[in-house]
Amino acid sequence: MDLSKKVDDIVSRSGIGEGIALVFAGHATGVIVITEYESRLRQDIQELLERFIHADRGYHHPCNAFAHLRSMFLTPSKVVPVRKGKLAMGTWQSIFWVEAETRSRTRKVEVYVIGSSQ
């Protein structure tokens, strides 16, 4: 799920002109990434995670060990500069959610904007 617009809206409403935005996913099996939000690339990311850590291997942890292991290699948060009240990201960069699970889950993402006012 592309979070860029929602995060940018939060930054704009915060009144912070120069600083940082911290985007945090408080979940053990889902992560925040910054890269191009393109459907084939998103598919490549999911396939890489599956090749790297298979969902159907025999793990010691019951049920979803693979999702915990996958999320260990990606981070649950990203810090993005804020300039002139907007996210300072590259042309093709997007902030989005990557799900390490194979089943659908309800998720919550927190955004903290820190800096000086406009």
Cα separation of 66 and 64, whole Å? 5
User: Which of 91, 108, 85, 106 lies closest to 9 in space, CA to CA?
Assistant: 85
Cα separation of 11 and 81, whole Å? 10
Please state, for a pLDDT cut of 70, what percent of the chain lies above it: 99
Give the pLDDT confidence score for residue 42 in this predicted structure.
Answer: 92
Taking only the tens place, the pLDDT of each residue in 9-27 is 999 999 999 999 999 998 8
Residue 24 structural domain: 4-117
pTM: 0.86
Give the pLDDT confidence score for residue 70 in this predicted structure.
Answer: 86
Which structure tokens are listed for 46? 């999911």
- Would the pLDDT of 83 be above 90? yes
Whichever domain contains 26, its CATH number is: 2.60.120.460
Percent helix, strand, coil in the chain, to 5, is 30, 35, 35
Number of domains in the chain: 1
